[in-house]
Amino acid sequence: MRFAAYAIAPVVICLLVCATLAEAQQQTWSLTGPIGKARLWGHTATLLANGNVLVAGGTVYEVKNSSFVAVPEYRTDLYDSLSGQWSATGNLNTRRSDHLAVRLTTGKVLIVGGWQGTTPLSSAELYDPASGIWSATGSLSVARGFATATLLADGRVLVAGGVDSYGLSAELATAELYDPATGAWSPTGSMNSPRQSPSATLLPGGKVLVAGGLYEWPRPNDIAPKPGAVLRSAEIYDPATGNWTATGSLVTPRVVHSATLMNNGKVLVTGGGREEYPFDHHNGVDKTEMYDPATGQWSAAANLNVPRFGHAATLLSNGGVLVSGGGDGDVAPDNAEIFDPVSGNWSSSPALKAAHWGLTATLLANGTVLVTGGPTAQTELFDPALATPIVSMSSAAYCTADPFSITVVHAAPQSSIRLSGAKDGVPWKLDPLGDTDANGDFRASATIGADIVGSHTFTAEVGGVRSIPVSFVVSNCQR
């Protein structure tokens, strides 16, 4: 068995019959365990390496002076994807909302920036899934709210834009890089335009696309609000040079939108806010568009069935995109729709069990989608009714010469398995790995070779349906 040009020897392949999971026959939403404390908005949900989901911070209601007030939260909760239950884990060191969260290649979760009331934060902290404890790490050089955070192919984290104050705020063009090895931040090139609440997407080649956002926020302490400039511009960050270059502009200016990297390498942008007040709940965007990195241009795609912002967009394992929740003030945010990349059209899915705005939607290992927040404690699961491959490795960390196994279950039966991924940001493919059996299962065993030392992330595609990414690290060590 070979991972692209990286030999794994000796090669011993064994096919085992594994238990399969029953396929759903119809798209459904179902309630799962309620989270310990309802989040109104501004929380993050991060898929951990073990398949569980970490929900951190956000804005919650608390009783003060016999009244409900919205305050930032320090609580974090874990969702067990096997039991469907929530449990509390270690508290954040700093209450925060509308912060940024990134799962590092080490498996730890970095949380940075955000807001504590009307104060933007520069602090950052790390969550260790092994201990359930948060610890402080290096702080940003400037406090940032409504910025972006992107995990780069080399394991560093790019944070860009945002605002550094509330009220008479100033949008930022600056950007910083976090190095997990040192726990420190360093400056990198500034964007061409200051912007808050844009989208940021890691492209297949390792560059980062930042699009849209807001410049000149309407000042709430002005007697007459000044118009905010919702941006059409987009730019590309190159980690190799640390520089930003302009790329094609959006067809429709938008802010607080979603951007989804498609399986073909293009980027689908949906919804968002526009006009002078993007948060007035009455001007959600129904326009969608697609960015092609090969040409650097955007093209209009089919409209959403309803305008929406404050929604969530999730790439499903078959390459479709689920857009759920959100709204524009005229539509109850309990609806969802799915983009079909083959036809280019949107179709309605069943309604959620509860209304959600400012929600998170996380793809789980079994292909279902977990929705949390906005503003209920009820959490939900969407079953897209797909035979989604579930891929697992025998470990997440190996030394050279270690034995390992890779298992695929719940896939299309008697179908070819194609692996594609990257080692330290360098793409590789293994096509085919082998074929699933009559039950849709496969297992292979081999020994780690010295020539694949590095950090790997890969997905498996079976019958046109992709698994969620799986990560592992190979070190030059011996046991």
- Looking at residue 287, what is its pLDDT? 94
Determine, yes or no, domain membership for 345: no
Instruction: Clarify whether residues 83 and 209 are in a common domain.
Output: yes
Pair 123, 236 in one domain:
yes
**Mean pLDDT across 340-365:** 91
Q: Which among 250, 269, 302 is the end of a domain?
A: 302
Strand (E) positions, 303-425? 312-315, 321-324, 336-340, 345-349, 360-363, 369-372, 379-383, 390-393, 397-399, 403-409, 416-423
310 is a domain residue? no
Contacts of 316 (CB under 8 A, 6+ apart): 322, 338, 363, 367, 369, 384, 386
Mean pLDDT within 286-304: 97
- Answer yes or no: do 49 and 134 share one domain: yes
Residue 299: phi and psi, rounded to 5, are -135, 145
* CA distances, 413 to each of 17, 309, 383, 438 (Å): 12, 39, 20, 5
Position 22 confidence tier, pLDDT thresholds 50, 70, 90: very low
Residue at which a domain ends, from 302, 330, 346: 302
pLDDT of residue 228: 60
421, 468: one domain = yes
Is 307 part of any domain? no
Structural domain including 16 reads 2-21+391-475
Q: Are residues 105 and 131 in the same domain?
A: yes
Confidence band, pLDDT 50/70/90 cuts, at residue 322: very high
- Does the residue 106 lie in any domain? yes
Predicted pLDDT of residue 335: 87
- Is pLDDT of 261 > 80? yes
Looking up residue 431, the CATH number of its domain turns out to be: 2.60.40.1930
| Same domain, yes or no: 114 and 180 | yes
Please name the residue ranges forming H helices in 171-244.
Answer: none
Query: Residue 275 — pLDDT band, cuts 50, 70, 90?
Result: low
Q: Are both 59 and 174 inside the same structural domain?
A: yes
Least confident of 3-7, 172-176, 403-407: 3-7
Same domain, 16 and 96: no
Output the domain CATH number for residue 210: 2.120.10.80
Sheet with 360-363, strands from edge to edge, namely 28-32, 379-383, 369-372, 360-363
For residue 284, what are the contacts with CB-CB under 8 A and spacing of at least 6?
271, 272, 273, 306, 307, 308, 309, 326, 327, 328, 329
| Helix and strand totals (H; E) in the chain | 0, 46
Residue 201: predicted pLDDT:
98
| SS3 category, 452 | helix
* Residue 8 located in a structural domain: yes
Dihedral over Cα of 319, 158, 279, 44: its sign: positive
Among 302, 326, 344, identify where a domain stops: 302
Answer yes or no: is pLDDT of 55 > 70.
yes
Cα–Cα distance between 290 and 280 in angstroms, integer? Answer: 26
Please give the tally of structural domains in the chain. 2
Question: pLDDT digit string (tens) for 231-250?
Answer: 999 999 999 999 999 999 99
Q: What is the mean pLDDT of residues 379-383?
A: 95
Across the chain, mean pLDDT equals: 86
CA angle 194, 116, 38 (to 5 degrees): 115
Do residue 209 and residue 264 come from a single domain? Answer: yes
Assigned token pair, 435: 């074929």
- pTM above 0.85? no
Residue 295 DSSP SS3: coil
| Residue at token pair 């093209």 | 299
Q: Which of 258-267, 271-280, 377-386 has the lowest mean pLDDT?
A: 271-280
